């Protein structure tokens, strides 16, 4: 696991460490109150009119909009649920927190990263619902943040990120395999370190740390993130040079993961993912447009 010395190679000073806004933690505190009030949460978000407007714009984007337009935060909470509105708020903060660095590598743009992450998040929520994973609190957030260490590398050390992509292109290996060749840490460890510094749950930390090595910690959070990541790639949202072919029907871990859901139709689910792809692309466009 990454230690402080290695972490400082990505973030040389604690002053460079990405910090989430105070309002995010204030919202979490409200959500943890015994007598939770959605109106109180809505009032908190609405204090910043610019932030509230961005939340509503995202809430009305194709992936979340549905048929009902949401004109205020309380309507968004009632329609999407407080967990999802919190996730949208985090998405907005993350896009601002990790700006695009113009690394000299034309095959990669920041929208490629967000399409992959958003697809993984959305597909994780679909799988969680279909498999009725009651012990998984927020599969969407696990999917959204699974590659946050890769985004940190891209934003803070773009030359290291470019080196990873070039190694993948040259050898046909995965991101973690390229990182093992080049460094003594990987993006899963960077993401774990960030999730720890942000005081996220242990389940979320594990989902980030083990999403490329699920056998090391085969919890439902980890397996859900691992397979949502694969489905994102199957649906066409892979990072450059990540061209591995997956045969889930021959995967014993997959069979074990879905064993309690005898009616899970893999072929039908795959078609559903492709149907959602245009919505993911448009929602990412909205996210990045708001950050400009």
Contacts of residue 39, defined as CB under 8 A and 6 or more positions apart, other chains included, come to: 74
Which residue in 2, 46, 8 sits closest to 27, CA to CA? Answer: 46
Mean pLDDT across the chain, nearest whole number? Answer: 88
User: Degrees (nearest 5) of the Cα angle 285, 31, 143?
Assistant: 40
Domain map (residue ranges) of the chain: 19-97, 101-291
Rounded to the nearest 10 degrees, what angle do helices 175-182 and 158-171 cross at? Answer: 110
pLDDT at site 14: 60
pLDDT at site 15: 60
Give the right CATH number for 101-291 from 1.10.600.10, 1.20.1630.10, 1.10.3210.10, 3.30.460.80: 1.10.3210.10
Averages of pLDDT over each 10 residues, the chain, 292 residues = 71 76 94 91 94 93 82 92 94 86 69 95 93 86 96 88 90 92 91 93 96 93 96 91 80 86 80 92 91 72
| Per-residue exposure over 247-262, b if at least 16 CB sit within 10 Å of its own CB, e if not | ebeeeeebeebbeeee
pLDDT at site 290: 82
96, 23 in Cβ contact below 8 A? no
pLDDT at site 247: 81
**C-alpha–C-alpha distance, residues 278 and 225, integer Å:** 22
pLDDT at site 104: 59
pLDDT at site 38: 92
């Amino acid at each position: 696991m990454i230690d402080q010395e290695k972490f400082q190679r990505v973030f040389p000073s604690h002053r460079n460490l990405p910090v989430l806004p105070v309002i995010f933690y204030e919202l979490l505190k409200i959500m943890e109150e015994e007598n939770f009030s959605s109106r109180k949460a809505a009032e908190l978000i609405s204090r910043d009119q610019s932030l509230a407007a961005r939340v509503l714009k995202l809430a009305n984007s194709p992936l979340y909009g549905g048929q009902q337009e949401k004109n205020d935060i309380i309507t968004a909470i009632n329609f999407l649920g407080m967990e999802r509105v919190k996730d949208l708020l985090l998405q907005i903060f993350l896009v601002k927190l990790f700006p695009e660095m113009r690394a000299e590598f034309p095959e990669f743009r920041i929208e490629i990263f967000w399409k992959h992450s958003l697809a993984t998040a959305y597909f994780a929520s679909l799988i969680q619902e279909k498999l009725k994973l009651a012990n998984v609190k927020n599969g969407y957030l696990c999917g959204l943040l699974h590659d946050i260490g890769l985004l940190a590398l891209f934003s803070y050390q773009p030359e290291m990120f470019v080196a990873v992509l070039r190694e993948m292109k040259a050898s046909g290996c995965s991101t973690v395999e390229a990182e093992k060749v080049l460094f003594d840490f990987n993006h899963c460890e960077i993401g774990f370190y960030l999730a720890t510094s942000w005081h996220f749950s242990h389940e979320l930390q594990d989902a980030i740390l083990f999403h490329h090595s699920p056998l090391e910690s085969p919890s439902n959070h980890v397996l859900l993130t691992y397979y949502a990541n694969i489905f994102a790639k199957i649906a066409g949202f892979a990072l450059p040079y990540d061209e591995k072919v997956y045969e889930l029907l021959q995967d014993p871990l997959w069979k074990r993961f879905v064993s309690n859901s005898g009616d899970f139709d893999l072929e039908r689910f795959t078609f559903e993912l492709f149907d959602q792809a245009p919505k993911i692309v448009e929602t990412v466009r909205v996210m990045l447009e708001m950050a400009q």
